[in-house]
Chains A and B, each alone.
Chain A
Amino acid sequence: MKRESRQTTGGQAWVVNRKKEDKKMEPKWLTERRQKAAEDFKTLPLPKTDEFWRRTNLSRIPFDQFEPIQSVTNGAAKGSASRYLPVPMMVSGELLYGEKMSPATLDPNSQKAGVILDGLQNALEKYPELVLKYFGKGFQNRHEKFLAQNEAFWQTGVFCYIPKNTQVELPILLASHFSGGNQSAAPRLLIVLDKGAKTTIVHYASSETENDSIFLNNVVEIYIEEEAHLTYIDSQALSDQTFEIAQKRIELETNAKLKWVLDIQGSKLSKTNIETVLKGSGAAAEVLGLLCGNKKQHLELYAWTQHAAPHTTADILIKGTANDAAKTIFQGMIRIEKAAQGTESYMANNNLVLSEKAHADSIPRLEIEADDVRASHGATIGQVDAEQLFYLETRGLNREEAEHLIVEGFYEDIFGRIPVESVREVMRKNIEKKVGVIA
């Protein structure tokens, strides 16, 4: 009986572990926030029946098996982040976090402009006012199990700030890495683009496991101030024994622009909830997502898009492929508030099921309160066409190569909208590993 009650807590060890951490130096307000969130975490049940959680069976995650990591502020050398990328990338700065943290590197121009790239703990000490202004701003009063868990116990994270009217030419690379050992972690990311700032941020999450596993509770919050433009590449290549729950929120102020590329390929089970909030008029978001599952992977993406101001636009395209016995699930919700007149919002989800045991689900929804809007959603689930395969095979490709080519073609409209060549290569490389390989 005891075991069962622990199961529903989502990992008792977190609470125990935190007690030691509390003795460390941290601003008082933070300790208080952590304690409040810890109370939430302890009392809230696992979100089993909730419409947006019920398609992912959380009891598959052996919460009590994991040992939460301690606070991480060092351990890796400068320049370690790029080592985890499967292809080289030209960057203007980089930082590794996760079970180890590297010092940040930044090119002289960005430094001069006042760009901040640092571990979240360091940033709290060095720039308390700036961090406090944004930290948790979008997640207030949510009282959700996993948000509370992260808020209470986060041990590793990054703060990135692009000052007003600053343009960072090359991408900033943030990489997170964990290696096995049945560890669990709650990484936290806070990114702020101040008014008129422009940049591309590439996030690459990886992990390694053999006979052990990992649990990650990721929370990301990004604030794009007026007229600022962000391209956010969010690529996930976690090992197939990693469990991931992620809550990611991006808020856009007036005339802010976002291109968000989600590349979800790794993990044994991943439940990612993304929130795109168009808060200021004229804000525009393009969300491109790729869910590529094989073996027994369970990948769920829930994309929530909120139009809260007039003349905002959202263009969401999510594509999934499920191979072997994998399952991909897309849930989408476009919510257009009464104030959001003159809004345009499009959501499309296309899926390709590559084997008989694989499965894809698609549940797009619209909620419209305003009357002057243009909105649509559509979903397709298809199979690789036997005619297509035969046609390609008659030209000399074997079954695997033909399938891979069809999958590449299927994702091509997403690739065509990704502005960084090396990012496309990273994604292609990872897809290759899962759906056959071409020369």
Chain B
Amino acid sequence: MPSLLKLDNLHIKVEGNEIIKGLDLEIAEGEVHAIMGPNGSGKSTLAYTLMGRPGYEVTQGKIIFKGEDITEMEPEKRAQKGLFLSFQYPVAVPGVTVASFLMTVLQSLSKTGNGRFAELRKNFRKNFKENMTQLKVDPSFATRYLNDGFSGGEKKRIEILQMMTLQPQLAILDETDSGLDIDALKIVSEGVSRYINPERGVLCITHYQRILNHLKPDFVHILTQGKIIASGGPELALQLESEGYKAFGIVEETRGTI
């Protein structure tokens, strides 16, 4: 399987503090990876860095996406290449409706000459409506301002709606399951499952086993203090769920604060 994402001894500094301290990870097309880890272990830091957040500095190692070094690339270029992040804390943009926002994004993306986006733009109305129905998002959300006054769960659902609209090749889901009620979790997971195909990958950051029941990850990684300390199959998540982090030698004191 061709490689989608490859991280080789990645080190990340945020405001002078090293948060990720030598991380290796490879995701191939068609694979679902889960990253679990205590609060403050660096999961969101990794996700932000993969998207090119200003101030998140890669001090060692590289981010290779589809064979290309994107370590220094602007966030919008990464989006053009097919990377997507579902934010742990989606940001509100008052005055900009969900529908016009996504249309603007597709317009801008199709200007890059990528026929894939031109196609998505052409079919936007139809796809958008279908995706809303699938995710059981009330049609009124199309004309509501992006994340403005949305509940925690609503925001997460709209993140996945955005993912389904933009059809990225690698979707990073940063705790998309947190804040979703049980029914919503099922609906969102089904949405993500439907999105997965042999050319696409998912990096699912989560604290809970439940979403993994739906997504059926090929690999589970445990991240603590900026390093992956264990990797394995879905059984790792089950073990974590029943035994907690101490089964992996992580004690309370070494965790970050919640």
Contact = CB atoms under 8 A, between A and B. Distances in A.
Given A390-B54, A390-B75, A395 B93 contact: no
A404 B114 CA distance: 23
Contact of A393 (B75, B90, B93, B94): B75
B88 to A, nearest CB: 12
Contacts of A408: 95-96
A412 B166 contact: no
B93 A405 contact: yes
Nearest to B84: A394
Nearest to A391: B91
Contacts of B76: 393-398
Given A395-B79, A408-B95, A409-B95, A390 B53 contact: yes
Contacts of B53: 390
A385 interface: yes
Interface string B72-106: 00111011100011010011111110000100110
A84 interface: no
Given A401-B108, A438-B108, A394 B75 contact: yes
Interface in A397-429: 397-398, 401, 405-406, 408-413
B79 A394 contact: yes
Interface residues of B, number: 30
Contacts of B87: 391
B95 A394 contact: no
A397 B105 CA distance: 6
A391 B101 CA distance: 12
B178 interface: no
Nearest to A401: B108
Interface in B37-81: 51-54, 74-76, 78-80
A252 to B, nearest CB: 30
A25 interface: no
A439 interface: yes
B108 A409 contact: no
A111 interface: no
A383 interface: no
A263 to B, nearest CB: 17
Most B CB within 10 A of own CB, among A392, A395, A405: A395
Interface string A365-405: 00000000000000000000111101111111110010001
A386 B54 contact: yes
B149 to A, nearest CB: 14
Given A401-B104, A438-B107, A438-B108, A394 B85 contact: yes
B78 A394 contact: yes
Contacts of B80: 396
Interface in B91-138: 91-96, 101, 104-105, 107-109, 111
B141 interface: no
Contacts of A401: 104, 108
B147 to A, nearest CB: 9
A406 B93 contact: yes
A409 B74 contact: no
Contacts of A392: 93
Contacts of B91: 385, 387-388, 390-391
A401 B106 CA distance: 12
A141 to B, nearest CB: 44
Contacts of B104: 397, 401, 405, 438-439
A272 to B, nearest CB: 25
B95 A412 contact: yes
B204 to A, nearest CB: 17
A412 B54 CA distance: 28
B162 interface: yes
Interface of A: 385-388, 390-398, 401, 405-406, 408-413, 438-439
Interface of B: 51-54, 74-76, 78-80, 84-85, 87, 90-96, 101, 104-105, 107-109, 111, 145, 162, 166
21 contacts: A388-B91, A388-B93, A390-B91, A391-B90, A393-B75, A393-B79, A394-B51, A395-B76, A395-B101, A395-B162, A396-B76, A396-B79, A396-B105, A405-B96, A405-B101, A405-B104, A409-B95, A409-B145, A412-B145, A413-B95, A438-B108
Given A387-B91, A396-B80, 14 more contacts: A386-B54, A391-B87, A395-B79, A395-B162, A396-B109, A397-B76, A398-B108, A401-B104, A405-B101, A409-B94, A409-B96, A409-B145, A438-B108, A439-B108
